[in-house]
């Protein structure tokens, strides 16, 4: 990616615009579970405390929405996807990850983008706990792809050895979604 540059068709805005496909059920942290399953050696379920006990990192990244807005320099804090990979050991033939949101949202993320060094499961945004509208308590953040790949209200990651499409991809959005290539829709 080119830091600080603006992909074609984008304009800078100050704050992310909230996008949700529907109402989101509430959650309390004592009942929170993150399910990691599919084509992995060690499927598991993490409680909130177990998520926080994993090594933590900070990533600053521009956030590009397919509808044309981009927010510069968002500061995310949480667990790098690299740590998740170390934990569950995906099978060598994994090619996609489906990220499941609490309200039923899904998106398919190419494994190549999922495992990038700046991809993370964020629980803080710009120095505060993730606000409810931006995915409390946990969201996936894939800085190299359009924002619809960054599933909010994250409750499961499913590792796949073949393509299965998520909510927007089923409706014609691109499987990869690289803003630097303008990958908005499938042709
Ligand atoms: N769970 C969930 N995650 C989601 C969505 C959603 O509807 N549900 N919308 C996606 C879309 S289309 C965008 S552009 C971004 C918007 O992030 P924001 O609401 O934090 O601005 O979240 C993505 N993640
Ligand atoms: Mo979006």
Query: Residue 154 pairs with which residues in a beta bridge?
Result: 101
Which CATH code fits 34-181? 3.90.420.10
Ligand 1 atom with the smallest distance to the CA of 153 is 1
CA of 111 relative to ligand 1 center, distance in Å:
19
* Over residues 151-168, mean pLDDT: 98
Q: 164-169: long-range contacts at Cβ-Cβ below 8 A with a sequence spacing of 24 or more?
A: 164/96, 164/98, 164/108, 165/108, 166/98, 166/99, 166/105, 166/106, 166/107, 166/108, 167/21, 167/104, 167/105, 167/106, 167/107, 168/107, 169/107, 169/108
Compare 9 and 187 and report the one with higher pLDDT: 9
Q: Which ligand is nearest to the CA of 24?
A: 1
Q: If you take atom 5 of ligand 1, which residue's CA is the nearest one?
A: 20
pLDDT computed for residue 187 by the predictor: 81
Q: Which of 17-21, 34-38, 122-126, 169-173 has the lowest mean pLDDT?
A: 17-21
DSSP 29: G
CA dihedral 118, 88, 151, 58 (to 10 degrees): -30
Q: Which of 150, 140, 152 is nearest to 179 (CA)?
A: 150
* Mutate-to-test residue for ligand 1 from 16, 17, 19, highest number of ligand atoms within 8 A of CB: 19
pLDDT tens digits, 24-76: 999 999 999 999 999 999 999 999 999 999 999 999 999 999 999 999 999 99
Contacts of 3 (CB under 8 A, 6+ apart): 62
End-to-end Cα, the chain, rounded Å: 23
User: How far does Cα 90 stand from its chain's mean position?
Assistant: 17
């Amino acid at each position: 990616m080119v830091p600080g540059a603006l992909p074609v068709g984008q304009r800078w805005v100050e704050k992310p615009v909230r996008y949700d496909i529907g109402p989101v059920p509430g959650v309390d942290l004592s009942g929170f579970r993150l399910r990691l399953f599919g084509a992995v050696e060690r499927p598991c379920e993490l409680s909130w405390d177990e998520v926080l006990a994993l090594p933590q990192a900070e990533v600053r990244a521009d956030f590009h929405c397919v509808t044309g807005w981009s927010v510069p320099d968002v500061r995310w804090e949480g667990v790098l996807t690299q740590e998740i990979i170390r934990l569950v050991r995906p099978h060598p033939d994994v090619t996609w990850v489906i990220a499941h949101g609490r309200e039923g949202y899904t998106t398919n993320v190419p494994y190549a983008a999922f495992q990038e060094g700046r991809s993370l499961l964020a629980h803080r945004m710009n120095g505060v706990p993730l606000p409810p509208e931006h995915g409390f308590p946990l969201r996936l953040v894939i800085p190299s792809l359009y924002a619809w790949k960054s599933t909010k209200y994250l409750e499961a990651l499913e590792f796949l050895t073949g393509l299965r499409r998520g909510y927007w991809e089923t409706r014609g959005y691109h499987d990869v979604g690289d803003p630097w290539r303008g990958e908005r829709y499938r042709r």
